Amino acid sequence: MRTSERTAPEVTGNPAGTGDQKEIFSSNGVRLSGVHWAITAALVLVVCLGLPALWPRVETFAPGPDYRIPYALSNDYWHYARYCRESAGDDQVLVLGDSVVWGEYVAPQDTLVHHLNAQAGRARFVNLGVNGIHPVAMAGLIEYYGRAVSGQDVLLHYNPLWMSSKRHDLQSEKESRFNHPKLVPQFWPRIPCYKESGAKRVGIVTEHYLPFRAWSNHLAVAYFGEMSLTAWAFEHPYRNPLGKVTLALPTPDTALRHEPVPWTEKGIPQANFVWVLPADSFQWYFFQRAVRTLQARGNRLFVLVGPFNEPMLEAESLAVYRGIKEVIEAWLEAQQIPHWVAPPLPSERYADASHPLGEGYAQLARQLLEQEAFAPFARVGEATQLAAR
């Protein structure tokens, strides 16, 4: 019986490394020419620039009169920039500040902005407050993400609470956590308690200037619980990340974050704050920097200072605070900036040292609308003023 012959497969290369056969290598890699690299770079550039610019066309965002940045989006600065653009207009007063403006102890329908609009009889004021935004971070927020705040009427709030200790003033040498570290200066001036790595700081700086980086952070905050897409995919390897991008942003919180109880009913004792004086304060220095940035952009500015819950302070601390108020007011007068250093509200209308409750905001709005220097910003007729009183 004849045995069938099997043809041996053709051998390419010389695995043994001997003989005269020419060695042949194969690879799945693709080598790009100079033209191909240029095309790839152009495509990447189009994606990086185009997606952030086109995203507002597909993601629903329709802020109403009582809109405020949802607490879940407090660190979403791309969204804040978009809200600034949506809010800018000849007939608007943009109200900037921390959680006192935002409304820490009240619903959106009970904030200072709400009561100003209600008493002025028109939806002219816009709540651009951000929860936890201290003046150092506010200066960065305005510089990098508030560029649309240009040629506007602006009500800027200053909360002296941020000068009430070295820790609040970011001056403690010991590393400590604080709000909005991405918005503080990453290299200079040095923030003593900020100990982030150099590589992370460089990444933060690029986020300030590259729209794609800020937009990527927006996706992470709005849809992935502040996780990067890579980190989320690692934890959820079998889920489609596109399913998380619903294009429906979180809405302003209607549920209260804290029970709206006066501080006197919480058992909070009087405080003896170890104040940082304005001449030595990071927070005051950067508030002045924010003022100059807003002025340089052609905004018409009104500054509201306080009101602080002075009955909560012990006598020594109160005396220092009153001296600080005088320095702040003197600087505003020297700069010829329209302002009002608000007297304290009745103490039972505060939830803590600086946050009013709903009745406190209503009273503050009435008093502010009565200020002669504020009249050009309010544009309230005489009949409306009388009704507000």
Domain holding 259: CATH number? 3.40.50.1110
Identify residue 242 by its one-letter amino acid code: L
Number of domains in the chain: 2
| pLDDT at 382 (0 to 100) | 40
C-alpha distances (whole Å) from 202 to each of 180, 187, 205 are 16, 9, 5
Q: How many CB atoms are located within 10 Å of the residue 262 CB?
A: 19
Look up residue 46 and give its two tokens.
């189009």
| pLDDT at 4 (0 to 100) | 45
* Boundary (domain end) residue, out of 60, 77, 111: 60
Asked if residue 239 belongs to a domain, the reply is no
Cα 196 to the chain's mean position, in Å? 19
| pLDDT at 251 (0 to 100) | 84
Asked if residue 155 belongs to a domain, the reply is yes
Q: Which H or E run contains 300?
A: strand 300-305
Per the structure, the complete domain to which residue 38 belongs is given by: 32-60
> Using omega within 30 degrees of 0 as the cis cutoff, is the peptide bond preceding 189 cis?
yes
Does one domain contain both 37 and 170? no
Does one domain contain both 42 and 127? no
Does one domain contain both 98 and 43? no
Tell me how far apart the alpha carbons of residues 73 and 222 are, in angstroms, rounded to a whole number: 7
Look up residue 109 and give its two tokens.
């329908």
Instruction: Mark the ranges of the chain whose per-residue pLDDT is less than 50.
Output: 1-13, 15-17, 19, 381-389
| pLDDT at 9 (0 to 100) | 47
Beta bridge partners of 300: 153
Does one domain contain both 42 and 119? no
Structural contact between residues 357 and 106, judged by C-beta atoms closer than 8 angstroms: yes
Does one domain contain both 312 and 347? yes
Asked if residue 243 belongs to a domain, the reply is no
C-alpha distances (whole Å) from 86 to each of 133, 189, 224, 242 are 21, 32, 24, 26
**Average confidence score pLDDT of the chain:** 87
Does one domain contain both 270 and 364? yes
Asked if residue 228 belongs to a domain, the reply is no
